[in-house]
Amino acid sequence: MRRQSGGVWHIAEIIADDLEDRETGLSKPLRIGLADLAASILTCRSINTSELANILPRTVKSSEESERYIRRFLSNPKLKPIEVMGGFIPDLLYMLTSNGQVAIFMMDQSKVGDGFECLMVSLRIGERAIPVAWRVKKTEGEMGFDEQEPLLKAVYDIIPDGVEVMLTADRFYGTAALITLCQSFGWQYRIRLKGNLNLFHQEGWVLNSHEAKKMNLKGLEDVRLGEKGPLIIQKDKPPALLVDSKSFT
């Protein structure tokens, strides 16, 4: 049962009312559960389940019972994070791009536990980033394009029409497949290349990306990443690819 008193409950009520007005795909019990958990996190400023269990606004006999509730809630297959974020991201994008700005999304991967990695797409807001979509997998290496593609497609599906997007990513993501996907979405991209990749020009010459950096080239046109890869340098577009500190456009 939900406790209906105390400061945490009042915060949870405000969050629950806001969730009700958004398209999150959540049923009422899930909206209430998410509101209670979010209010508890905001109050104790921690994601430690033991700390959250102590202040969670639920009428339970012990903190252990609250911890079990939190675990059940987080493992509920009906709770779909990308659908929940879909109720918030469009509003944020409209505010960020109201004066013609380009929305900047960042893709990165980090270790979240012993043997587990998290691939995340975040939205840049000022000097901070808000997580939009993520995928956690038991692996010790980089998640490849098979993991990147469905994650980026899920992000694409919640972006309103008319919003210009740029995807930024580090050197682990400088692949022809990712660039082709960005082009199919109509996204701009700014992706760091590994220094040993070959760039193929339509006239037949091949240029190593590391060599291109050393030559201090100001610009490249009609260049492909891989002999049959996508055209990666497009005219009249912002700088799209970087080799270390150099930008090519």
Whether 175 and 205 have beta carbons less than 8 Å apart is answered as no
pLDDT of residue 215: 65
Q: Is 216's pLDDT higher than 90?
A: no
Whether 169 and 106 have beta carbons less than 8 Å apart is answered as yes
CA angle 172, 151, 146 (to 5 degrees): 60
**Stated pTM of the model:** 0.80
Q: Give 89-248's CATH code, choosing from 3.30.420, 3.40.50, 1.10.287, 1.20.58.
A: 3.30.420
Average pLDDT over residues 231-241: 52
For residue 213, name the pLDDT band (cuts at 50, 70, 90).
Answer: low
Residue 114 vs residue 241, higher pLDDT: 114
pLDDT of residue 248: 47
Whether 105 and 165 have beta carbons less than 8 Å apart is answered as yes
Q: Is 196's pLDDT higher than 70?
A: no
Instruction: Give domain limits for the chain.
Output: 7-79, 89-248
Average pLDDT over residues 49-53: 88
Q: Any idea what DSSP says for residue 2?
A: B
Q: Is 200's pLDDT higher than 50?
A: yes
Tens digit of pLDDT for each residue in 144-192?
A: 899 999 999 999 999 999 999 999 988 777 788 888 899 899 998 888 7
For residue 12, name the pLDDT band (cuts at 50, 70, 90).
Answer: very high
pLDDT of residue 172: 76
Average pLDDT over residues 34-46: 92
* φ/ψ (deg, to 5) at 138: -80, 105
> Which token pair is 184?
């199919």
**Sign of dihedral through CA atoms 33, 34, 40, 46?**
positive
pLDDT of residue 245: 43
**Burial class for 110, CB neighbours closer than 10 Å (0-12, 13-18, 19+):** exposed
Residue 32 vs residue 200, higher pLDDT: 32
> Which token pair is 71?
């675990």
Of the listed ranges 75-84, 94-103, 122-131, 226-235, the one predicted with least confidence: 226-235
Q: What does the mean pLDDT of the chain come to?
A: 83
